[in-house]
Chain A
Amino acid sequence: MAFRRIRGLFSNDLSIDLGTANTLIYARGKGIVLNEPSVVAIRQEHDGGRKTVVAVGENAKAMLGRTPQNITAIRPMKDGVIADFTVTEKMLQYFIHKVHESRIIRPSPRVLVCVPCGSTQVERRAIKESAAGAGARDVFLVEEPMAAAIGAGLPVAEARGSMVLDIGGGTSEVGVISLNGIVYSQSARIGGDTFDESIINYVRRNYGTFIGEATAERVKHTIGSAFPGSEVREMEVKGRNLAEGMPRSFTLNSNEILEAMQEPLMGIVSAVKIALEQTPPELGSDVAERGIVVTGGGALLRDIDRLIAEETGLPVVLADDPLTCVARGGGMALDWIDDRAMDFFSTE
């Protein structure tokens, strides 16, 4: 233990946004130092069935859906929580080591991990142990809406309600924050992955063609939108025709994608509406006056703010650099550990 403390002197405090789609690491005093997909490629050895890690992050993502039989590229996080404990630990270990690359001494940083507010005690404990297993000397947990709000620059310490909507890869979190604490929070297991799935399903239903996750994600990035716009964008996509079994190419347009994503989008909107219903009236009026802040990768979906504004009738604001909000917020929280009450850290 004492040795970990000494090693800690050679490590940076880290804030980790362990997301379903991407893992971001913010190092104290350095900013975002790592932003890689949460994907691990594992090889099953022929002798004895031993498993070894082949690639992590960007390299592993390139393998997703393109692996030979003995390699599987997996995403160890599902719905914002750990689906595969050991693989998550390996991934964290790799990432923590990567941000300390130049050091000889094995890093042992203090780590703050952001967890979905809907995660259970068991899931939180799993994340905590995973980080500890990856070499962290202290692990703090903070709920994602809190970190997102801090990262977006909301005045969390004021006695005013601020509402933040964080649309991540696996979950969407709505939180109302006042006086450094979460007044209301709700997590819906809808996120970027859900959008991709619904695009895959839509294409299979209407075109009789099967497309992969990576293609669906590219479609979403290129022509996806949450609100009918004036211009219609098109994109050529290749997939496997289910009837012929042959790869075929066809064209999708933005209205089709909007239609495809209707269901998950409505899920997010209803989560926001429920949150507004549940918010105490004083805080609700603060939110109505200033607006809802959207963070997370989902905020990059075209016109998502217009959709929510239209549905709720409130001003909606997109945070700057929404992808990194949670990690940055966690980093700021780490800065405050020393000189503030730790009231925004969640207990296990």
Chain B
Amino acid sequence: MDINDPTAYLQRENTEQSPPATCGHQLRVARERRNINVQQVAHDLRLTVNTVKALENDDYTQLPSTVFVTGYIKSYARLLGIDPQPLIANYRAAQHQPAAESAQPIKRNNQPGDKTVRLALVVLALVVTVAIALLWNPDLSLLFSAAQNESATEPTAMMPPDHPSNIDPQPTAELTENIEPDPPQQPSLLMPEQPSTTTPEPEIEPVPELPIAMPQPEPTPEPPAEPVPAEVVMEFSGPCWVDIRDTTGNFKLFGEMSKGDRHVLGGEPPYSMILGNASAVTITVGTATFDVQSQARGNVARFDLDPQDYLRGLN
């Protein structure tokens, strides 16, 4: 019960606590100033006398975990009418350990969001994309330079006509995607070598304007040599409703055709076709006649027609 005796505190203060700023010390001083004894405090805070004594003596081994001690300090400070924040800061500093640390050590291992893993994944993805692009079209690297040189011309001219796979339009779509690396700056640099890569006859493009009255060349056995302008001609022997669109959507033939009409399809093949009266339509691809009836179901035909594929299939 020497705790209640102020002189006992003073003695201990002189001997042990040279810096008078510890949390317990401040609480005790404040309590003594207000003339409250430990029992009273213990009763008001609903703690045991021992706990209060341990608090005042900064003896944290006898006290429960941090959350409780800070709570006790808060309510004690409120009881005494002093600001709890500096006391708590004091207590935390005295604890040495970071205040946030709970009873359990938190082990952080193999974080899935590890930076190196992410980086590796991104690199891998890039490599795979490039590899696939090259597999798809082994001469892509050649096309790169060609395409860069021709970037000033209109997009359809980007297909070097001497390349086999450029006959059908899908690879071009692929190509334009791969020509991302900013071509506009390149041409000036590469200008001198332009003649070697660009072919001098851009007129024989597979997508000319519609009404070219070219005599139909026979489907050449080796398409690589020159792209075949496989003309698709539709002749109507009776009234027929049609809806024909090319891949770009720019060309379309739409509406009711009447007997004797003849249309040459332009635009970008393949075409998606809907014919309302299939028996009244004759389609000629190049020189071959396309069997419309095989596509028709109850006299209505819905199908896609790629003239190049069709001719290739015939050969």
Binding site for B on A (CB under 8 A): 6, 8-13, 28-29, 110, 150, 152-158, 289-291, 293, 305, 309, 313-320, 332, 335-336, 338-339
Contacts and interface: CB of A to CB of B under 8 A. Distances in A.
A9 B109 contact: no
A337 to B, nearest CB: 11
B94 to A, nearest CB: 17
Interface in B37-82: 45-48, 64-68, 70-72, 74-75
Contact of B68 (A156, A158, A290, A338): A290
B126 to A, nearest CB: 14
Interface size class of B (residues with CB under 8 A): 20 to 34
B67 A315 contact: no
Given A153-B65, A318-B74, A9 B112 contact: yes
A291 B68 contact: yes
A10 B67 contact: no
Contacts of A290: 64, 68
Contacts of A309: 46
Nearest to B44: A309
A29 B110 CA distance: 12
A291 B111 contact: no
B142 interface: no
B15 interface: no
Given A6-B121, A153-B66, A309-B46, A29 B71 contact: no
B107 interface: yes
Given A291-B71, A314-B46, A317-B74, 7 more contacts: A9-B112, A13-B112, A153-B65, A153-B102, A153-B103, A155-B102, A336-B104
Nearest to A335: B106
Contacts of B117: 9
B312 interface: no
Interface of B: 45-48, 64-68, 70-72, 74-75, 100, 102-104, 106-113, 117-118, 121
Nearest to A320: B70
A320 B72 CA distance: 12
B183 to A, nearest CB: 24
17 contacts: A9-B112, A9-B118, A13-B112, A28-B113, A29-B108, A29-B113, A153-B66, A154-B103, A156-B104, A291-B68, A291-B71, A293-B67, A317-B75, A335-B106, A335-B108, A336-B106, A338-B109
A228 to B, nearest CB: 15
Given A8-B112, A335-B106, A313 B121 contact: no
A317 B264 CA distance: 88
Contact of A158 (B100, B103, B110): B103
Contacts of B64: 155, 289-290
Contacts of A13: 112-113
A9 B121 contact: yes
The listed residue with most A CB atoms (<10 A of its CB), out of B64, B103, B108, is: B64
Contacts of B66: 153
Contacts of B113: 9-13, 28-29
Contacts of B67: 152-154, 293, 317, 319-320
Contacts of B107: 335-336, 339
A154 B104 CA distance: 10
Contact of A315 (B45, B100, B112, B118): B45
Contacts of B104: 155-157, 336
B102 A150 contact: yes
B103 A338 contact: no
Nearest to A149: B67
A332 B106 contact: yes
A155 B104 CA distance: 7
B102 A332 contact: yes
B89 to A, nearest CB: 12
Contact of A155 (B65, B71, B106): B65
